[in-house]
Amino acid sequence: MNANTVIAMGADTFQAKLAVALEDTLATVTKASDGPFHVEGWQQSPAHELWRKATSHKRHDARVQATLSAAYLAADMWGLVLAPIGAAIALLIDILGDGGPLGLGNGTSQRRSPFSRLGSGRRQANDGAAWSAASEEAFTRLLAQASGHEDVWEYSKLIIFYDNECGVSAAQAGVDTDDNGQDSRWDTLPARAEFETLAANALLASVGALPDFAVNSRVEFNLTPDQAKAWYEECSAARKAVADTANLW
């Protein structure tokens, strides 16, 4: 996503403002990566590596903030609630990956927009590990914010479950919150193309075959095989419909 995309959205739309916020946080990553590069031979000097180590925390923090901005923008683009829980769901989908063998996302390098704006936009690039570390911390922060108890973040989990009234849903769980926090820590997950990878992993989890992934200790799938299969098939159909529409053009 670039400035022209933001303009095409319309400068007054909330999604456009989220896109601008993402660009602003990406600028802080660039700034945190700056050094006295105007000095001749700086990158080859012994001081360069020392400077990089001394300022690594600033670059990491900047990447985390940019990842949070991308997560909120993705939540808005994908019809999720614009709250920490919605951003956490969107970020989990990015962490799991897109496409890949059997649609599980494992092994894919290219990140889906708007996460493709983060660094090189590829998990297996030179900066991939640094951005992956930022994603893991950002995910933990979002769950803590959703709980309303950031001081006990280690107990926070994202639960994917089936609700009899709303279908497949997701909620923050693991700590007690008051009733006023309910809306900010719960969201429904309809059948969308963007959710296919999440649904595929839910289907594997329902039969005890879920592979490890970066934040698996923070996520719990609680769907029966039939519920997970139905959701996965609906999401796959939605993805195929999107692909077929794109091929028409």
Q: Which two tokens stand for residue 80?
A: 């999720």
Q: Give, for all 249 residues of the chain, the pLDDT tens digit.
A: 444 444 344 445 768 877 887 787 777 776 555 555 555 555 556 665 554 555 667 788 889 999 999 999 999 999 998 888 899 999 999 998 865 555 555 556 778 889 988 988 888 888 888 889 999 999 998 988 887 766 555 567 889 988 888 888 887 655 444 444 444 467 888 889 889 989 999 999 999 999 888 888 889 999 999 999 999 999 999 988 987 776 554
Residue 186 lies in a domain: yes
Question: Is 47 contained in some domain?
Answer: no
Phi-psi region of 112 (alpha: psi -120 to 50; beta: other; left: phi over 0): beta
Burial label, 149 (beta-carbon count in 10 A; 0-12, 13-18, 19+): middle
Other beta carbons less than 10 A from residue 56's beta carbon: 12
Angstrom distance (rounded) from CA 59 to CA 56: 5
Question: Is residue 48 domain-resident?
Answer: no
pTM of the model: 0.78
Q: How is residue 54 written in tokens?
A: 């001394």
Q: Does 25 reside within a domain?
A: yes
- If one counts the domains in the chain, the total is 1
* Domain around 101: 3-32+54-248
* 37 belongs to a structural domain: no
Answer whether residue 39 is part of any domain.
no
Phi, psi of 235 (to 5 degrees): -65, -40
CA–CA separation, 148 vs 127, rounded Å? 32
86 domain residue, yes or no: yes
Per-residue pLDDT at 7:
39
| pLDDT in the model for residue 37 | 53
| Structure token pair of residue 115 | 């996460």
User: Is residue 70 in some structural domain?
Assistant: yes
Q: Which residues contact 47 (CB under 8 A, 6 or more apart)?
A: none
Q: How far apart are CA 84 and CA 58, in angstroms?
A: 23
